[in-house]
Structures are given as C-alpha cells and as structure tokens.
Amino acid sequence: KPSPPMVSGPMARASPGQTVNFTCKSHGFSPRNITLRWFRNGNELAASQTSVDPEGKRTSYSISSTTRLVLALGDVRSQVICEVTHVTLQGGPPLRGTANLSEVLRVPPTLEVSQQPLSGDQVKVTCQVKKFYPQHLQLTWLENGNVSRTEKASRASNLLENKDGTFNWTSWLLVNSSAHREDVVFTCLVQHDGQPAVTRNHTLVASAHQKDQETHNTQESRPSTPFLMAVTLGPKLLLLITVSAMYVHRKRAPNCVPGGK
C-alpha cells in the first residue's frame, strides 16, 4: 500500500497575495491506479500537475502532485492537506499529509505613531506595530536621526496575539517636552523577518512659549549694537582724540628761540 504522503512547500516565506507551490509525494503502492486530492481548510484545490511513475507494469509505483495557491492575510492558521486513496487501503480512511501555511507565510507589519500628554511636561510617544507574522521583530527609536533605544518583540511582555494568529506590539517613549526648545522628529523603525526596514515619523512640536523663551534667551545673550560699536571703536576713538589734542597743543605753544635774551 502507499506510504504516508509527504507535503513540502517553498523554502522561503511569502507575503499575502503571492502564489506558492506545494508538492505531495507517496510511493510503494501497487496496482498503479491511485487517487490524490488537495484541500485547503476543507476546500478542494486543483492540482496543477500529477504524475504516476514508472510507466507500464511494475511491482511498485510512486505518485507526485503539485498544487498552486495564493496566500491570504488570514492563512496563519490554515493547512494544506494531501489525501491519497488506494485499493490496498480496503475502503478505510485515506492517507493524509499536511503542511501549515504558518511555516511559509509572512505578514508585514503596519505602523502607527501618536503622542499623548501626561502630567506636567511629560509626553508619551507611542508606536503601534500591527498585524505581523511571524513574531520575531526588532524596533528602534530614533530622535532626530540618532538611536535612542532598541527592543525585540519576541522578548516583550506586551506582545499580543490576534484571533487570526498575527501579532500586535506597542512600544513607547516618555519625553520631557520642556527640555526641547525646537521641534523633535521621532522615528519608529521596524525590522521584521529579515525584510527591509519600515519606518514611521512623528514630530513633537515645541510650544510657542518654549520657542519664544529660546528666542528671548538668545537675544539676552547677544550684546546690543551700541555696546558692540563702543567696544570696537573705543580704542580707535581714544587714539584719534589724543592725536588731535597733541596737534592743537603744539599749534598754541609759543615759538622758542634758542639762545634768545
């Protein structure tokens, strides 16, 4: 009788909307007539190619079949089933091979960044990472392009599993808004399952009072224009007055005749 069917899928993960192939193989049966059917969550799938080898009369045969399917967002909990029926099973239940779509599916995350005022000058900046699978994910916070903190979702206690098998995760920063005189750009950068990073930016706007205070402090720290002129021109003006006084003094002094009586 036929061996238990073995189902294999793609080597790399794929995203919802992509088409993937699954192959089912069984061997060691005779006679040659055999039935193989594909199912996905109880719904029958069409086989794209099926072959029974070898040709002609032999004492043992093998079967190989391939099906193609399009992955969906909700396939984390889905299964692909290969059923084999043969006369040697004597009317008993068909032999089954299964593959979990969770082993080949990758659902990329979506990001949302928001802020919430707390007591005093504290602001909570939150990054919500939604609907991703598998759970292994790394999040990095950047402040004006500089790394502030890095976390791993697989170690986070607030990692939540959704009904469809995907995950949600929330990370946040506590920011003292009074410490920032200018607008600050916070970036939530997420690296998921070896894919290119996805980012979402959020600008924490400094209050008008803080900006005015910064402008006032800058103006106070700068010397006034008259003061700068006095400091710059003072030595030159003093030299000019001294030279002028010496000239006037010489003009007014009586001529002295050497040896005069």
Give 120's pLDDT tier (boundaries 50, 70, 90): confident
Beta strand extents in the chain (DSSP E only):
6-8, 19-29, 35-40, 43-45, 47-53, 61-70, 79-85, 95-100, 110-117, 122-132, 137-143, 146-152, 160-161, 167-176, 184-192, 198-204
Count how many residues are written for the chain. 261
Average pLDDT over residues 190-203: 96
Alpha-carbon gap, residue 151 to 90, rounded angstroms: 57
Residue range 211-229, pLDDT digits in tens: 444 444 434 444 444 434 4
The C-alpha angle with vertex 44 and arms to 71 and 166, in degrees rounded to 5, equals 30
pLDDT of residue 214: 42
Residue range 136-191, pLDDT digits in tens: 999 999 999 999 999 998 777 789 999 999 999 999 999 998 887 899 999 999 99
pLDDT of residue 135: 93
Please tell me which residue, 178 or 204, carries the higher pLDDT value. 204
Domains in the chain: ranges and CATH: 6-103 (2.60.40.10), 110-211 (2.60.40.10)
Q: Is 164 left (phi over 0), alpha (psi -120 to 50) or beta?
A: alpha
pLDDT of residue 153: 85
pLDDT of residue 160: 94
pLDDT of residue 219: 42
pLDDT of residue 36: 97
The partner residues of 51 in beta bridges, in order of sequence, read 64
**Percent of the chain whose pLDDT exceeds 70:** 79
Give 199's pLDDT tier (boundaries 50, 70, 90): very high
Average pLDDT over residues 1-20: 96
Please tell me which residue, 59 or 236, carries the higher pLDDT value. 59
pLDDT of residue 119: 85
Give 208's pLDDT tier (boundaries 50, 70, 90): low
Among the listed residues 63, 64, 65, 6, the one whose alpha carbon sits nearest the alpha carbon of residue 32 = 63
pLDDT of residue 181: 81
Are 177 and 125 in contact by the 8 Å Cβ rule? The answer is no
